[in-house]
Every structure is written in C-alpha cells, then in structure tokens.
Structure 1
Amino acid sequence: MPFGLSVDPELLQLALTHRSWAYEHGGAPHNERLEFLGDSILGQAVTVMLYRDSPELSEGELAKRRAALVSTVALAEIARGLGLGASLRLGRGEELTGGRDKDSILADAVEATIGAVFLSLGPEIADRFVLDLIAPLLADPDRFTASLDPKTALQQEAARRGLPHPPYETRGSGPDHDRRYTSRVTLDGASGVGRGTSKKVAELAAARDAVAQLRGRSAG
C-alpha cells in the first residue's frame, strides 16, 4: 500500500475488483460502492485544500482547478504512478481489451482505494492520503492551463495567433484487443505528439504537448 498505510486487506482487494471480475465469479462484490464513497472524499479534500491554499482565486478558477485534479485523466495518471493496473482483478473481456490501462477503470480504482483508506483509517488519514496522491499533479506547472481541456487550449492558442484550428493526424496500431493510438498536431512550428489506448486520449495528449511547447517558447 502506498505511503506506508495499513489498509484492511479485504477492503483493499475489494477496491481493486472490477465489476467484470465480479460478474464472472457469481456476482461477487466489486468496487463500485467504494468508488462512490471515495469520489465524495476526494472531492471534499481537494475543494478544502484549494479554498484554504488559494485565497486569491475566484469561484470559477477554483472550480476549474478542482476539475483538473479530480478528472478521469488525472486519476488515471495517479493510478499509473502507483502501479495499480497490475493489481486489478478484471474479467476476461476487460483483460483482453487492455482494461489494466483504461483511464476509466484506473480512475475508479483510485477512488475506491480512497474509500478503503477512509473506512480503514478514518477521515483525517484519508484526507492526507488524497493530498499525497495529488501532490505530483499540483507540482505540474501546466496542470491548470492545458490539462483540463488541452484541445480547447490549443484552439485558443491558434485563435490568438490568427491561425485556423489545427488538424490531428491519429493512427492506431496493434491487435483489436490491445489497440494503441498515436496522434500528432502541429501549430505555428510546435509539433505535439500523444499516445493512448483511444483516439481521444492520444489527441488530448498531443494537444497538451503542443500547448506546452508554444507557451514555453513564449515564456522564453
């Protein structure tokens, strides 16, 4: 368990049990109830942290930052950092279609794990656990500029330069059950590249890469 926490082993196993596995094992319990609990705890902890630590921000800006920190993409990033994918219990269908690296499944597992921490160790430690999880996201200077909606951010950069919206070149490779996508987008000399298990994820990553290049060049 990350951060040296002693979570109830049964609860932790439940947090990593996807409904596809439960369905194939006679309707065994799965992680959706824990996910529901963890989602609430995550949202509250992030909201309170932002309110306390960022008194200069408006309500709208606070809402944008919270959305960036609790989005499916952000939570999946956290899950990959923790290596949760390898510990998931998945049904055969999800296993064959790359479920261990699907953003939605990974994000749900993070929320369920937060719920397991809350039930095992109480609200104070659960809040601290959430803040430890999101610390790497807060340290990313581009998190609140491009990651919330990178494609929109890139369109805004194009408009600011008087240029048309840039097209995406996205290609898939690999077998159907383990498809991977690579996307490229170019704007004003910046060429962003992104990869993912879906076209959407790859294009978002490419847009974020391009925006980071453009803004870095402007800052320099």
Structure 2
Amino acid sequence: MKIAADIRAFQTRLGHEFDRPALLVQALTHASMSSPNRDDNQRLEFLGDRVLGLVMAEALLAQDAAASEGQLAPRFNALVRKEACADVARQIDLGAVLKLGRSEMLSGGRRKEALLGDAMEAVIAAVYLDAGYEAARGVVLRLWGGRIGAVKQDARDAKTALQEWAQARGLPPPDYAELHRSGPDHAPVFTIAARLSSGESAEATAGSKRQAEQAAARALLDGLENDT
C-alpha cells in the first residue's frame, strides 16, 4: 500500500512504522468519511481504549507499589480520560491527518476533543494489531511520558474535589455560571465562574464548558489552599 507523505510524517511523530499501513488509515478515518469500501475507526477505538487501560494500569502499579485501589483509580482515570487522549493527539498533531467528511471538516472536526481522543485510542489499537502489545505499550509510555510520573497523588477531578471541600465545611455544592461565550459555533470559547456560597469564586476560560468548569474549580481550590 502506497503511503501518503503526511501519513509517513505522522508515523514518525507517533514513533511506529506500520507493516500494515491500512490499519493506520482506518484508525484515522472518522465515521463521517466511512463508506462501503472504507471502514471507520469506531471498532479500533473500542479496542484501543482497552489497550491503553492495561498499559496505564501496569504503569501505575509499577510506579507506586504501596498505593491502594482507592488511590490508583483516580490516577488511572486522569490518564485515560478523553481529555488526556486528546492532549496527546495534539502533541503529535493527529488532527492534521484525520480523514473527515465535509460537514465534520467544516465544523472544526480536526480540533474537536472527542474526535481527537477517539482517534488516539484507535491509533493505539492499530499499533497493537500491527505489531503486538509490547509495541503498543512502548508507544503509549513514550507519548504519555511525563504525565504518568506527574499524575497527582489524589487525581480526582477538580469539580469533585471542590465539592468535597465545600461539603466538609457544611457548605452547599459549588455553583458554575457561564460568564461569556465567544468564537464561531464550531470553535466556541467559554468563560466560567466557579462560586461558593461563602463568597469565594474563580474564573477560567477554555474551549468547552466542561474544561472551563474544571479549570475554574482548580483555580478556586488553589486559591483556597493558598489562603489556608
């Protein structure tokens, strides 16, 4: 199979040269581009999610032999969640080689977090099917790299941690308010405020409401911890 120049360059960024490049092409093909003669990446995404999970579970166990399941679970979730996969996809510019239908392309699909995260999982599965578990493991550990070592001892998401902070002090759950939205419909930017009934608040801006809420919660938590 003849490989396009952009796909060859992506293989270099990924760190794996495919013996069966058709697997990589499938992994990069979104459902909006599928046809009777072209498979999309949904089945590979399903497999890649499991391969990624096994690699991360092994890595976390090796990193901290004394950690309990309760400590390991939130760290695991932080490393395999869709946002983490999308971040890694951006790191290797996966969006540039995604194969999208016209409507998805016009709506900014190359930058969408869900599409990037799904495709990253599919690429992991493609490496696994092409060269086996050890090859897939090597790719994942290299790409996730410092994220594994830097994952916090308590990797609960910021919104959960802020809610628990409030409950421990007899306060109602935090409130999240959209303060501003800008940008085109296909690439909106949200500014969100996280607020406690006791008066403390913090704001953050991101490309999705969920990300902005998490960032605002983290900023508020950081401020509360600095105050104490």
What TM-score, normalized to structure 1? 0.83
Quick check: 2:24–2:123 contact (8 Å CA) kept in 1?
yes
Q: CA separation in 1, counterparts of 2:128 and 2:209?
A: 35
Q: Does 1:83 align with 2:93?
A: yes
Amino acid aligned to 1:152: T
Unaligned runs of 5+ in 1: none
Partner of 2:7 in structure 1? Answer: none
Distance 1:177 1:205, change over 3 A: same
Distance 1:13 1:113, change over 3 A: same
Q: Does 1:195 align with 2:184?
A: no
Distance 1:64 1:178, change over 3 A: closer
Deviation (angstroms), 1:202: 2.0
Quick check: 1:184–1:203 contact (8 Å CA) kept in 2?
yes
Secondary structure of the residue that 1:57 maps to in structure 2? Answer: coil
Quick check: 1:145–1:153 contact (8 Å CA) kept in 2?
no
Amino acid aligned to 2:191: T
Secondary structure of the residue that 2:204 maps to in structure 1? Answer: strand
Q: Does 1:153 align with 2:161?
A: yes
Q: CA separation in 2, counterparts of 1:155 and 1:60?
A: 18
Distance 1:13 1:150, change over 3 A: same
Amino acid aligned to 2:139: F
Give CA deviations for 1:151-193 in whole Å, capped at 9, x if unaligned: 1112223344565544323222223233222223356766341
Partner of 1:102 in structure 2? Answer: 112
Q: Does 1:5 align with 2:13?
A: no
Aligned residue runs from structure 1 range 1-220, under 5 A: 1=11, 2=13, 4-7=15-18, 8-22=20-34, 25-26=35-36, 28-140=38-150, 142=152, 145=154, 148-160=156-168, 163-170=171-178, 171-186=180-195, 191-196=202-207, 198-215=208-225, 217=226
- When Rg is computed on C-alpha atoms for both structures, the one with the higher figure is 2
Give CA deviations for 1:119-154 in whole Å, capped at 9, x if unaligned: 222211211211222223224354x535x4221112
Quick check: 2:44–2:123 contact (8 Å CA) kept in 1?
yes
CA RMSD across the alignment:
2.5
Say which is worse superposed, 25-34 or 100-109, in terms of deviation: 25-34
Distance 1:120 1:167, change over 3 A: same
Amino acid aligned to 2:82: T
Q: CA separation in 2, counterparts of 1:29 and 1:136?
A: 34
Secondary structure of the residue that 1:178 maps to in structure 2? Answer: coil
Quick check: 1:14–1:31 contact (8 Å CA) kept in 2?
yes
Distance 1:94 1:206, change over 3 A: farther
Q: CA separation in 2, counterparts of 1:87 and 1:110?
A: 12
Quick check: 1:42–1:114 contact (8 Å CA) kept in 2?
yes
Unaligned runs of 5+ in 2: 1-10
Deviation (angstroms), 1:27: 5.9
Distance 1:175 1:27, change over 3 A: farther
Count of aligned pairs: 213
Quick check: 1:194–1:204 contact (8 Å CA) kept in 2?
no
Quick check: 1:183–1:206 contact (8 Å CA) kept in 2?
yes
